[in-house]
Amino acid sequence: MAKKEDNTGIVHIYSSFNNTIVQLTDLAGNTLGRISGGQITKHDRLKANPTIAMFIGKRITEIARDYDITTVYVKMKAQTNSPGTGPGANSVIRTLGKEGIKIVNIADMTRIPRGGSKKPHGRRGRRV
């Protein structure tokens, strides 16, 4: 009996409070598919909705099955100064699990500013 080969991919999730974008790549970083909230719905207010993110997860699962990907690593990312990931990120991960894709690791790759650049106008501020 031949053992079935497990192909592994990476799911990149960018989730803000305005939109959810999901990209499927192989381990080398080559893009296999990309789905955003705007491809599912035409209503701007619904792009970051968890229900729309569920449909995004189903589409990504279909793309993963086309490439025989059964296990994935998940990398989430949010806007830099936001309080956290948007409402769609957890919904996409939950949908991937329900559709039968094995999730190996979930990592949050959001950038955190460490001090930043110097404010203009000196120590006393702008004098008018």
| Chain segment 11-60, per-residue pLDDT in tens | 999 999 999 999 999 999 999 999 999 999 888 888 888 999 999 999 99
Count of domains in the chain? Answer: 1
- What confidence score (pLDDT) does residue 5 get? 64
Q: Where are the beta strands (DSSP E) in the chain?
A: 7-15, 20-26, 31-36, 69-77, 102-108
Q: Is 127 a member of any domain?
A: no
Q: What is the CATH number of the domain that holds 59?
A: 3.30.420.80
Across all residues in the chain, what is the average pLDDT? 89
Q: Is 46 a member of any domain?
A: yes
Q: Is 115 a member of any domain?
A: no
Residue 70: domain span? 7-108
- Go through 33-51 and write b for each residue having 16 or more CB atoms within 10 A of its CB, e for each that does not: bebebeebeeeeeebbbbe
